[in-house]
Structure 1
Amino acid sequence: MATAILWAAVVGLVTTVLLFVRKWRNQGNNVKGLPKGSLGFIPWLGETIEFMYYFSTSNPEPFVNRRIAKYGKVFTSHLFGKPTIISTDAEFNKFVMQNDKRLFNMGYPTSFAEILGSYDMLMVNGDMHKKMRGYAMTFLNSKQLQDYLLNDIENYVLLTLRNWKGRVVNVQDEAKAYTFRVVAKQLISFDPGEESDSLMKEYYQLFEGIFSLPLKIPGSKYVKAIAGRRRILKRLAQVIDSRKTLEEDNHKDLLATVFSEKLEDRMTNEQIMDYFLGLLSAGHVSTATAILFAIAFLTECPKALNQLREENLAVKKNQKGEKLTWDDYKNSMPFTIDVVYETLRLTNVSHGLYRKAIEDVHYQDYTIPKGWTVLVYGRGVHLDENIYKDPFSFNPWRWKTMLPSINNFIAWGGGPRHCAGYELAKLEIAMFLHHLVTKFSWKPIEQDKMVYFPTVRMIKGLPILVEDLKLETSL
Structure 2
Amino acid sequence: MNEAKGLVPGYPQSMLDILGKCNIAAVHGSTHKQMRGALLALLSPSMIRDHLLPRIDQFMRSHLSNWDEKVIDIQEKTKEMALLSSLNQIAGKESTSMSQQFMPEFFKLVLGTLSLPINLPGTNYHGRFQARKNIVNMLERLLEGRKGSGETQCDMLGVLMNGEENRYNLSDEEIIDQMITILYSGYETVSTTSMMAVKYLHDHPDVLQELRKEHLEIRERKRPEDPIEWNDFKAMPFTRAVIFETSRLATIVNGVLRKTTQDMELNGE
TM over 0.5: yes
* Inter-partner Cα distance in structure 2 for 1:272 and 1:154: 25
| Change over 3 Å in CA distance of 1:101–1:112 after alignment to 2 | farther
Deviation at 1:110, TM superposition (A): 1.3
Matched, 1:201 2:104: yes
Q: Aligned to 2:72, what secondary structure does the other structure show?
A: strand
Alignment-derived partner of residue 231 in structure 2 = 327
Matched, 1:125 2:28: yes
* Inter-partner Cα distance in structure 2 for 1:207 and 1:276: 14
Alignment-derived partner of residue 107 in structure 1 = 10
Radius of gyration: which is bigger?
Answer: 1
Question: Counterparts of 1:291-440 in structure 2 under 5 Å?
Answer: 291-319=194-222, 322-330=226-234, 332-366=235-269
* Inter-partner Cα distance in structure 1 for 2:3 and 2:197: 31
Alignment-derived partner of residue 156 in structure 1 = 59
Alignment-derived partner of residue 169 in structure 1 = 72
| Cα offsets for 1:284-329 (capped at 9, x unmatched) | 3321221111111211222222221222222222347733221121
Q: Aligned to 2:114, what secondary structure does the other structure show?
A: coil
Alignment-derived partner of residue 272 in structure 1 = 175
Deviation at 1:131, TM superposition (A): 1.6
| Change over 3 Å in CA distance of 1:176–1:266 after alignment to 2 | same
Number of residue pairs the alignment of both structures matches:
266
Matched, 1:223 2:143: no
1:257 corresponds, among 137, 159, 164, to 159
Asked whether the 8 Å contact 1:208–1:225 carries over to 2, the reply is: yes
Q: Aligned to 1:250, what secondary structure does the other structure show?
A: coil
Asked whether the 8 Å contact 2:58–2:227 carries over to 1, the reply is: no
Alignment-derived partner of residue 237 in structure 1 = 140
Matched, 1:137 2:40: yes
User: Unaligned 5+ residue runs, structure 2?
Assistant: none
* Inter-partner Cα distance in structure 1 for 2:265 and 2:221: 56
| Change over 3 Å in CA distance of 1:297–1:191 after alignment to 2 | farther
Q: Aligned to 1:245, what secondary structure does the other structure show?
A: helix
Asked whether the 8 Å contact 2:197–2:246 carries over to 1, the reply is: yes
- So what's the TM-score if we normalise by structure 2? 0.89
- What amino acid is aligned across from residue 195 of structure 2 in structure 1? L
* Inter-partner Cα distance in structure 1 for 2:93 and 2:184: 15
| Cα offsets for 1:57-112 (capped at 9, x unmatched) | xxxxxxxxxxxxxxxxxxxxxxxxxxxxxxxxxxxxxxx2xx23542111001111
* Inter-partner Cα distance in structure 1 for 2:95 and 2:18: 25
Deviation at 1:344, TM superposition (A): 1.1
- What amino acid is aligned across from residue 304 of structure 1 in structure 2? V
* Inter-partner Cα distance in structure 2 for 1:195 and 1:208: 21
* Inter-partner Cα distance in structure 1 for 2:135 and 2:60: 25
Asked whether the 8 Å contact 1:189–1:253 carries over to 2, the reply is: yes
* Inter-partner Cα distance in structure 1 for 2:204 and 2:132: 40
* Inter-partner Cα distance in structure 1 for 2:177 and 2:53: 27
- What amino acid is aligned across from residue 244 of structure 1 in structure 2? K
* Inter-partner Cα distance in structure 1 for 2:173 and 2:4: 23
| Between structures 1 and 2, the one with greater strand share | 1
- What amino acid is aligned across from residue 240 of structure 1 in structure 2? L
Asked whether the 8 Å contact 2:22–2:174 carries over to 1, the reply is: yes
* Inter-partner Cα distance in structure 1 for 2:172 and 2:92: 18
| Change over 3 Å in CA distance of 1:163–1:267 after alignment to 2 | closer
| Cα offsets for 1:384-409 (capped at 9, x unmatched) | xxxxxxxxxxxxxxxxxxxxxxxxxx
| Between structures 1 and 2, the one with greater helix share | 2
- What amino acid is aligned across from residue 361 of structure 1 in structure 2? M
Alignment-derived partner of residue 113 in structure 2 = 210
Q: Aligned to 2:249, what secondary structure does the other structure show?
A: helix
| Change over 3 Å in CA distance of 1:296–1:112 after alignment to 2 | same
- So what's the TM-score if we normalise by structure 1? 0.52
User: Unaligned 5+ residue runs, structure 1?
Assistant: 1-95, 367-475
Asked whether the 8 Å contact 1:136–1:254 carries over to 2, the reply is: no
Q: Aligned to 2:115, what secondary structure does the other structure show?
A: coil
Asked whether the 8 Å contact 2:189–2:252 carries over to 1, the reply is: yes
Matched, 1:182 2:85: yes
Deviation at 1:188, TM superposition (A): 2.7
Matched, 1:288 2:191: yes
Q: Aligned to 1:353, what secondary structure does the other structure show?
A: coil
Deviation at 1:217, TM superposition (A): 4.5
The alignment-based identity, stated in percent, is 28
